[in-house]
Structure 1
Amino acid sequence: MSKIKVYYIMSAFLSINIGCQNLNQITGNRKIPAIALEKSSVKTEIAGRVYRDLNNNGKLDIYEDINQPIEARIKDLMSQMNLKEKAGMMFIDGAPVSEDGTLESKKGVTGPAARRPPAIQNIDESLMNHFNVWGLPDNVHTIATWYNKLQQYAEKTRLGIPVTIASDPRHHFSKNIFSLDARGFSQFCETTGLAAIGDEKLMNDFAEIVRQEYLAVGIREALHPQIDLATEPRWPRINGGFGEDAKLSAKLAKTYIEVMQGGKSLSENGIACMTKHFPGGGPQKNGLDPHFEFQQGQIYPGENFDYHLIPFEAAFEANTSAIMPYYGIPVGQTDEDVAMSFNKMIITELLRKKYNFEGIVCADWGCITDVPLGPDVVWPARAWGVEHLSEVDRTLKIIEAGCDQFGGEARPELVIQLVKDGKLSEERIDTSIKRLLRQKFQLGLFDNPFVDESKVNEIVGKEEFVQLGIQSQQRSMTLLKNDGSTLPLSINNLKIYIENMDSTIVSEYATVVNTPEEADFAIIRLNTPWYPVETNNFIARGFHHGDLDFKREEKEKILQLLKTVPTIVNIYLDRPAVIPEIANRSKVLIADFGASDKSVCEVLFGNTSPEGKLPFELPSSMEAVANQKTDVPYDSENPLFRFGFGIKYIK
């Protein structure tokens, strides 16, 4: 047989084989959802069925085939990716969302997002496809419109890799810098309030509502839950967790993750959870947060490191999709005093090897690059313990520690430089890319990255969702003192003096008077005290640092009111307040964990009852706070109110 005949026979054989392979690829039962075909601009038809042709080559690649196993799809796509595309995938940065829903503008954008370029710029220049959103437009339909446009833009990239949008919590009624604006979304109490209720059914329902509302607008990764333990009462981030009890935190976290992710493993109807902050960020020395250079490290004087791992063990049981380490240095706990994301003993030895965690590990935001905040004001990268390293060497150390992704950064050129300089292998990068792609495939983003804009307003802010949120605000209120069974207020024609409340709301329940002397009772709302750290960094000044007690004039003003008229004190506990004199002289002391004036009135006037139990103890003095062990729960001397305390109305 001639060589020419052999060639033609082999060509025919290969053509038949390839054709069979293509037919095998399309014999599965799963189909691309109709909305994806409707909105997608990259489509091809094979054997009478339409597929998304993400790389625009006119054929069905394995990674484009909804019926192929995920691992096969990952392998195929990775074989087509170049170094720049892989490096871009390893970064997630903030993206502004304009109030007109356009991709190019930053109209109406304020806060940190105003400093970031539009997402399409990072797609074009850095080939990124992970973004987090902060402030969002009031109109939730606009968010969905922006999201769909962004996914359509991503389709036009070389391989059509879809975008993953992430968000910090945005479903809480809050007065703390860490909770994003919940306008448009259902407003629940903070997570400490959910812990105060301690109801797994409510946690299940809350997670289900968050899941549905996130899905509706295109948020597919939750930068939560936060499961740090509140063992150092001065730490500013206590309101984001479930209190100081590890078992309670573990129980609620597991429920939350499983519901959010759509089951025991991440599904296309789920939201990927990036649980934080491993291995527990609560035990900060003097409560100083490691977002800033004045931090003093995480310390464990009670040798209680393992206690802080208990909630994370529950998160691993729930198969959390991702983990975020914190910024703190675990002083004396590992072979080098460097921050968690740079710490190989924390990420590789503990997280990867001991706990066999194979999900994504994303370094917390801003570990590489310094951020200018204004003239002569720079927010240093949170590279504690390795401040002396260059940006490229910080990048290498984070990867070598075992992390896959960099939060709050858009610096893929650093990864590319490391590979080109021979300091980092592309094989090591591939390990991280597999994890990042696996999450996208599990979420179904390659098959349907779009949302149905026509249904957004039917889901987000749905009346039953809103009402359950309001109920949580009320149920979580925690009654600490009720002299003479003052509450619930049920006397007709009550005259009430108020401070820090909306008179138009209170007047629906009683007559609001102008002076304490005219009143039967006073109702005042207070916030747990905090005192800004002296710094030029305006972001640091907004963190609720410092002592937990009222000082001098402010305390005397409160005590004078308590002396003048029987007073109901309602205090917002984003941290454990130190209020012994106020507790002693008040007629009623009741705590909230994020509640509107309306919700407070509903409880005080008996239309519903408080159910909360303290998720952390309230110390009796700042001396007791200073003498506590940073890593040990409920250990202050003679606490004013113990963990789990809360009383009920007498029926």
Structure 2
Amino acid sequence: MLAPMLVPYKDPDRPIEERVADLLGRMTLAEKAGLLCHAPVAVTPDGGFVEESVGIMPTAPTTESVRDKHLRCLTLMAPVAAGPLARWHNRLQDLAARSRLGIPVLVSSDPRHSANDNPLTSVADGGCSRWPEPLGFGAIGDEQLVREFARVIRAEYTAVGIRMATHPMADLATEPRWARTVGTFGADPDLVGRLAGAYVEELQGPRLGPGSVASMVKHWPGAGPQAGGEDAHFANGTDQVYPAGRFEQHLDQFRPSLRAGAAAVMPYYGRPVGVPGLAEVGFAFDREVVAGRLRRDEGYDGVVCTDFGLLTDSVLPGGTVWPARAWGVEHLDRAERALMLLDAGVDQFGGEWCPEVITDLVTGGRVSETRIDESARRVLTVLFRLGLFENPYVDEEIAVTTVGREDFAAAGAAAQRRAMTLLTDSVLPLPSGCRLYVEGVDAGTAAAYATIVDSPADADYALVRIAAPYAPRRTLPEAFFHQGRLDLPEDERAHLLELAATVPTVVDVFLDRPAVIPELAEHAAALVADFGATDDAVLDVVFGHARPEGRLPFELPRSMAAVEAHPEDLPGGSADPVFPLGHGLEATNWRPRTVPAVDGTPAVRNEAKGARR
């Protein structure tokens, strides 16, 4: 007896273009419209579906979204452990498989491997290996390390069913006050695009296939030059400005990722001000930005997904309304915004689960179904290329043994140490067993390196960990974003200077964006920068067990006046910076010297020599 013939879209031996065309011909308008929404969903700690909105960002009801609204692209807003996450993913695919056409679900995620605690831009690790922020890779400047990192992401993501990464950011971090700086590779235009391209190549592999994680590079055509450093998630940060005329330099950083075949591109919320040929509306709403500069000029035919929340206002816990980020077109209703986005060339509405808006536009004669087919075809092509129609499921045991694997964790820990940057130094490394006073460091962890004392007066040295300064915002969700001033509050500055006058003080600062800290550069016995590091990573560097290799991925300005006078779109070049872009003390030529230890026996320490621009 002959085996039953597979319908074309289910036949893996047929060309993907043929399979896509066959499936499209079988789909209803509602099923196609579901492909044009990319919705956030939550997961319970034990791997269950969440059917009502939770957390600071509203999330879609899982079952209704997949079964009734026909959504097939969901972004994961949960730090769930590998086992429960794998179980959730398989349940999700079971739900999709029971649908009329059995179209699988593509799960995406924001970054899950770093220290950033902003739930709107990253996800707590859920057991993933811990690496420095992208800024740390910019500090190291090693393309091969970026590739190694991307290979680890690919292994950990695919193990739990995450098949699209809504990263990397290819933005050039030219405005030091901008809150999203932490997710970039920095401000060096010779480095940022190259590292982002390498990241995309390794996430996806030589070609998008069953072993790939599809990459959504963002934020086209460059999100860095926010007016006054205010972020475009909020109404006080709508504008992007180019006083130095560097629009093209920002756009250039995306070309390596596009050449690497990035499966998707996300435009930013911001609206460009004073850029010839561009409308003063959010980038995704401008046909010249998407259909013109991206598709026509760059030849890009992948998925274009908006940043989250351009259509629908969000109602937060407590009833606060977070307006949709429809800058420049706030006066339009939801349907008119969707119409404008489709006309601009957008394929998916990020953060939305309202396919009825799309079907209404078609049935009302305002959009042709052929236009919907164009975007649905792009989305389906990614699902087919990833092999989800053949095998959408994951193995829970493999997920548990892969995520956070020992060698992955060790590689991430080593990268944290490499990324650390010596800015000034007269005492490092500290001698083992010295009497140490600590602030911002776990005393139990530090006790493995030194004798911990309770008072600076009793110490040989002090070690203090601080975060880069920012001006806290009081309302959610803006409170999650580190924005505003970069200089230390007066009470913190006075305390640190008093400590430095009492005992030789090593200050480690977590630079999630630049800091204005000339006083620490002058008075600290050593000033060290990290870009996401655990206490033991910092202590290893401070005590000479690991070599810091970082160079500043941006400059550290001299004053807030210098920051305010600096063009938002210009990489570096503020007036008399404390440390320029690329500064870092050489650690490769440290030479041992003997100093007396507190118990009278010799201890070996090293002395940093020289600096490199």
Instruction: Settle same-fold status: TM greater than 0.5.
Output: yes
- Contact kept, 8 Å, 1:225 with 1:275, in 2: the verdict is yes
- In the TM superposition, 1:425-440 aligns within 5 A as 425-440=368-383
Matched, 1:162 2:117: no
> Partner of 1:591: helix, strand, or coil?
strand
Matched, 1:506 2:446: yes
Q: In 2 relative to 1, CA 168–376 (structure 1 residues): closer, same or farther, beyond 3 Å?
A: closer
**1:11 matched residue in structure 2:** none
- Contact kept, 8 Å, 1:200 with 1:252, in 2: the verdict is yes
**1:604 matched residue in structure 2:** 542
1:111 to 46, 55, 60: 55
Deviations 1:604-631 (Å, cap 9, x if unpaired)?
1111110001110110111110011111
Residue 174 of structure 1 deviates from its aligned partner by: 3.3
Structure 1 gaps, min length 5:
1-45, 49-57
Q: Could you tell me the percent identity over the aligned residues? A: 43
Work out the CA distance in 2 between the residues paired with 1:246 and 1:126: 43
Residue 520 of structure 1 deviates from its aligned partner by: 0.4
Residue 455 of structure 1 deviates from its aligned partner by: 1.1
**1:458 matched residue in structure 2:** 401
Residue 309 of structure 1 deviates from its aligned partner by: 1.4
- Contact kept, 8 Å, 1:140 with 1:460, in 2: the verdict is yes
> Partner of 1:247: helix, strand, or coil?
coil
Residue 311 of structure 1 deviates from its aligned partner by: 1.6
**1:292 matched residue in structure 2:** 234
Work out the CA distance in 1 between the residues paired with 2:467 and 2:531: 10
Matched, 1:93 2:93: no
2:508 to 559, 566, 570: 570
- Contact kept, 8 Å, 2:117 with 2:124, in 1: the verdict is no
Deviations 1:554-612 (Å, cap 9, x if unpaired)?
21111111111110000000000000011100000000000000110111111111000
Residue 59 of structure 1 deviates from its aligned partner by: 4.9
- Contact kept, 8 Å, 2:472 with 2:483, in 1: the verdict is yes
**2:610 matched residue in structure 1:** none
Matched, 1:489 2:430: yes
**RMSD after superposition:** 1.5
Work out the CA distance in 2 between the residues paired with 1:86 and 1:112: 29
- Contact kept, 8 Å, 2:150 with 2:202, in 1: the verdict is yes
Residue 136 of structure 1 deviates from its aligned partner by: 2.5
- In the TM superposition, 1:330-369 aligns within 5 A as 330-333=272-275, 334-369=277-312
**2:220 matched residue in structure 1:** 278
- Contact kept, 8 Å, 1:162 with 1:446, in 2: the verdict is yes
Work out the CA distance in 2 between the residues paired with 1:344 and 1:352: 10
Residue 98 of structure 1 deviates from its aligned partner by: 1.2
Residue 116 of structure 1 deviates from its aligned partner by: 2.3
Residue 345 of structure 1 deviates from its aligned partner by: 1.1
- In the TM superposition, 1:171-570 aligns within 5 A as 171-176=113-118, 178-263=121-206, 265-333=207-275, 334-375=277-318, 377-483=320-426, 486-490=427-431, 492-533=432-473, 537-570=475-508
> Partner of 1:230: helix, strand, or coil?
coil
Residue 532 of structure 1 deviates from its aligned partner by: 2.6
Residue 502 of structure 1 deviates from its aligned partner by: 0.4
Larger radius of gyration: 1
- Contact kept, 8 Å, 1:169 with 1:223, in 2: the verdict is yes
Work out the CA distance in 2 between the residues paired with 1:156 and 1:503: 54
Residue 533 of structure 1 deviates from its aligned partner by: 3.8
- Contact kept, 8 Å, 1:191 with 1:241, in 2: the verdict is yes
Compute the TM-score of the two structures, normalised by the length of structure 1: 0.88
- In the TM superposition, 1:621-636 aligns within 5 A as 621-636=559-574
- Contact kept, 8 Å, 2:8 with 2:18, in 1: the verdict is yes
Moved more, 117-126 or 397-406: 117-126
Moved more, 236-245 or 553-562: 553-562
Matched, 1:617 2:555: yes
- Contact kept, 8 Å, 1:174 with 1:190, in 2: the verdict is yes
> Partner of 1:330: helix, strand, or coil?
strand
Compute the TM-score of the two structures, normalised by the length of structure 2: 0.94
Q: In 2 relative to 1, CA 79–266 (structure 1 residues): closer, same or farther, beyond 3 Å?
A: same
> Partner of 2:305: helix, strand, or coil?
strand
Q: In 2 relative to 1, CA 79–110 (structure 1 residues): closer, same or farther, beyond 3 Å?
A: closer
